[in-house]
Amino acid sequence: MSTTEDAVPPRHAGLTHVREDGSAHMVDVGDKDVTARRAAAESTLHTRPDVVAQILTGGLPKGDALAVARVAGIMGAKRTPELVPLCHPLPISGVTVDFAPAGPEQEPDAVRISAEVRTTGRTGVEMEALTAASVAALTLYDMIKALDRAAEITATRVVTKSGGASGDWSRG
């Protein structure tokens, strides 16, 4: 018969950024294969339908929010290791940030921000994709907050990833 101690794994079991003593550390990826890796993430900005229309047509008082948010998302992906302490600096080969209305039938009051990051390296780019989508969404929020203080950012999540030993994954 096992004891309760044997039956319950330590709180950090299976987490690569946590040592046995529970302290955080940066994972050594030196022995991992260099492979092409890609990750896509998304975030959603909810605001009023009239504000969505102004975002999509470039008619905001602060100017072309999509152009500014796209550049901000790209910059965010490139600076992820400065923002997330245990992320490795990666040789990012490409970042794409796009915007689309969430759909008049489902959410006429939302803009979907999608980001894709690519690299050839020893570790994945999920955090870079999440950072790109988040920073782009934050930039849109900054550009509309005077028009809609109730605007909110939701559903920031990884959508797909590929490459590396763990293989491909998709939210489905």
Q: State in Å, rounded, how far the first CA of the chain is from the last one.
A: 41
Tokens of 30: 């030196």
The answer to whether 50 is a known catalytic residue is no
User: Alpha carbon of 122 to those of 88, 108, 128, 171: distances in Å?
Assistant: 10, 41, 14, 23
Question: DSSP H helical segments within 26-125, as ranges?
Answer: 49-57, 65-78, 80-83
Q: Which of 64, 98, 142, 148 is catalytic?
A: 142
Count Cβ atoms below 10 Å from residue 137 Cβ, excluding itself.
28
Instruction: Return the closest-CA partner of residue 74 out of 136, 119, 118.
Output: 136
Instruction: Return the closest-CA partner of residue 148 out of 62, 65, 51.
Output: 51
The catalytic site residues sit at: 142
